[in-house]
Amino acid sequence: MMTTKTPVLIRMHDQDNVAVVGNDGGLPAGTEVAPGVTLREGVPQSHKVALVDLAAGDVVRRYNVVIGYAKEALPAGSWVNENRLRLPDAPSLADLPMATAPKPNWTPLVGYTFEGFRNPDGSVGTRNILAISTTVQCVSGVVDFAVKRIKETLLARYPNVDDVVGIEHTYGCGVAIDAPGAEVPIRTLRHISQNPNFGGEVMVVSLGCEKLQPERLMPPGSIPLTVATDADAQTKDTDQPWGALDVVCLQDKEHVGFASMIDHILRQAEQHLKRLNARQRETVPASELVVGMQCGGSDAFSGITANPVLGFASDLLVRAGATVMFSEVTEVRDGIAQLTARAATPTVAQALINEMDWYDQYLARGGADRSANTTPGNKRGGLSNIVEKAMGSISKSGSAPIAGVLSPGARLNGQRGLVYAATPASDFICGTLQLAAGMNLHIFTTGRGTPYGLAACPVIKVATRSDLARRWHDLMDVNAGEIADGKQTIESMGWAMFELLLDVASGRRRTWAEQWQLHNSLALFNPAPVT
How far apart CA 398 and CA 394 sit, in angstroms, is 8
How far apart CA 247 and CA 202 sit, in angstroms, is 9
Position 242 pLDDT exceeds 60: no
- 79-80 and 48-50 as β-strands: parallel, antiparallel, unpaired? antiparallel
DSSP, collapsed to helix, strand or coil, labels residue 224 as coil
Q: Per-residue pLDDT tens for 49-93?
A: 999 999 999 999 999 999 999 999 999 999 999 999 999 999 999
Asked if 480 and 309 touch (Cβ cutoff 8 Å), the reply is: yes
More confident residue, 231 or 315: 315
Position 244 pLDDT exceeds 90: no
- Going by C-alpha positions, the residue among 480, 359, 376, 503 that lies closest to residue 421 is 359
pLDDT given for residue 227 in this prediction:
38
How far apart CA 145 and CA 165 sit, in angstroms, is 11
If pLDDT is split at 50, 70 and 90, which confidence band does 4 have?
low
How far apart CA 483 and CA 310 sit, in angstroms, is 13
Instruction: Give the gyration radius of the chain's Cα atoms.
Output: 25
pLDDT given for residue 224 in this prediction:
58
Q: What percent of the chain has pLDDT over 70?
A: 95
For the chain, the average pLDDT equals: 93
More confident residue, 262 or 220: 262
Q: Which residues of 484-513 are buried (b: 16+ CB within 10 A; e: fewer)?
A: beeebebeebbeebbebbbebbbbeeebbb
**What's the per-residue H, E or C state across 104-133?**
CCCCCCCCCEEEEEECCCCCEECCCEEEEE
How far apart CA 19 and CA 17 sit, in angstroms, is 7
The answer to which of 135-139, 338-342, 374-378 has the lowest mean pLDDT is 374-378
The CB density around residue 268, as the number of other CB atoms within 10 Å, is: 21
If pLDDT is split at 50, 70 and 90, which confidence band does 492 have?
very high
How far apart CA 196 and CA 202 sit, in angstroms, is 11
Asked if 74 and 80 touch (Cβ cutoff 8 Å), the reply is: yes
Asked if 450 and 308 touch (Cβ cutoff 8 Å), the reply is: no
- Going by C-alpha positions, the residue among 92, 89, 36, 85 that lies closest to residue 61 is 85
Q: Is 122 exposed, middle or buried (0-12, 13-18, 19+ CB in 10 A)?
A: exposed
If pLDDT is split at 50, 70 and 90, which confidence band does 222 have?
confident
If pLDDT is split at 50, 70 and 90, which confidence band does 398 have?
very high
DSSP, collapsed to helix, strand or coil, labels residue 258 as helix
DSSP class of 92: P
* Torsion sign across C-alpha atoms 347, 353, 355, 361: negative
If pLDDT is split at 50, 70 and 90, which confidence band does 174 have?
very high
If pLDDT is split at 50, 70 and 90, which confidence band does 382 have?
very high
DSSP run (H or E) holding 499 = helix 490-505
If pLDDT is split at 50, 70 and 90, which confidence band does 240 have?
very low
Q: How many CA atoms lie within 13 A of 25 on its CB side?
A: 6
The CB density around residue 73, as the number of other CB atoms within 10 Å, is: 13
Q: Is 291 exposed, middle or buried (0-12, 13-18, 19+ CB in 10 A)?
A: buried
First to last CA, the chain: 67
